[in-house]
Amino acid sequence: MKVAVGQFAVSKDWQENVQTCLGFMAQANGAGAQLLVLPEAVLARDDNDPDLSVKSAQTMNEAFIEQLCEQSRDDQLTTILTLHIKTTPGRAANTLLAIRGGEVIARYKKLHLYDAFNVQESRLVDAGESLPPVIEIAGFKVGLMTCYDVRFPEMALSLALAGAEVLVLPAAWLRGPNKEMHWSTLLAARALDTTCYVVAAGECGNKNIGHSQVVDPLGVVIAAANLQPTLIYAELERQHLANVRAMLPVLKNRRFAYPQLL
């Protein structure tokens, strides 16, 4: 499966951001990609107003999602990103959407809200209450995660035990001491925990690190971006996945079964 990862700096203007997403979708589809992963919270962002993502929240029936669905109508590219979707007045859910064939084929409300490093996402954002689905893309089973979820190995393991072979992760990873190291270490660790490919897209604005990556089931980075807006590609190989899982059967070697992983 050919995958594309698009990173960009999300602006204050949702109309500008939707055009950026549409452009990435057209490029990825034209290059023959079957999966495109974009960053977290691509609706709107402002360095001087940390609440803009929630203030700009839309419903599932408004223009941002409608335009993405229309773009996808005549191809088989699956696009994954997150948006803030309205819940109650003044609040929203950080919602991952998988879009293909003109519709939203799966959605997931972020479980682990980023209440860390002096940030409190839960102040205005409602947490999800259930694990995301595992969906099929080009014959691969794909588990869905969002940003801070990557720090919780039990979630990645739950998805792998449900059949996931690929984990996707839209993110907006904040800058800070050692944060690039945290990001790369955690992506590799989740790949090794689960023997899954990991496809992670990072927002690359002034406050976030970018550094989108595709990591193979042995924790090896096979495609990466730096700080600049870009679209990167990688090939996920079913035979490589099978070889790794035969050589490193951690999912089979587990000695303990956890009745409740969350």
Query: Could you report the per-residue pLDDT of 178-237, keeping only the tens digit for each?
Result: 999 999 999 999 999 999 999 999 999 999 999 999 999 999 999 999 999 999 999 999
153 is written with which tokens? 């190995």
Looking at 21, 40, 109, 121, which residue is catalytic? 40
Q: Using CA atoms, how far apart are residues 44 and 54, in angstroms rounded to an integer?
A: 9
Tokens of 253: 């070697």
Instruction: Please give the DSSP secondary-structure letter assigned to residue 146.
Output: -
Q: How far is Cα 259 from Cα 40, in angstroms, rounded to an integer? A: 30
Cα angle: 154, vertex 99, 170; to 5 degrees:
40
- Given 21, 109, 110, 121, which residue is catalytic? 110
Task: Tell me if 96 sits within 8 A of 46, measured CB to CB.
Answer: no
Q: Considering only CA atoms, which of 145, 210, 206 is closest in space to residue 173?
A: 210
Residue with the two structure tokens 């107003």: 49
Strands 115-116 and 119-120: antiparallel
Q: Residue ranges per domain, the chain?
A: 2-247
Q: So what's the pLDDT on residue 236?
A: 98
110 in active site: yes
Q: Which of 254, 250, 181 lies closest to 217, judged by CA?
A: 250
Tens-place pLDDT, residues 221-255: 999 999 999 999 999 999 999 999 999 999 999 98
Residue ranges in the chain modelled with pLDDT below 70: 258-262
State the burial class of residue 25 (Cβ atoms within 10 Å of its Cβ: 0-12, 13-18, 19+): buried
The pLDDT value recorded for residue 260 is 52
Let me know if 204 is a catalytic residue.
Answer: no
> Beta partners for 100?
103
The helix-helix angle for 14-30 and 63-71 (nearest 10°) equals 10
Phi-psi sector, 11: left (phi>0), alpha (psi -120 to 50), beta: beta
CATH annotation of 2-247: 3.60.110.10
169 and 147 Cβ atoms separated by less than 8 Å:
yes
Helix or strand or coil: residue 147? Answer: helix
82 forms beta bridges with 96
What is the C-alpha to C-alpha distance for residues 14 and 63, in angstroms, rounded to an integer? 10
Which of the following is catalytic: 147, 165, 203, 204?
Answer: 147
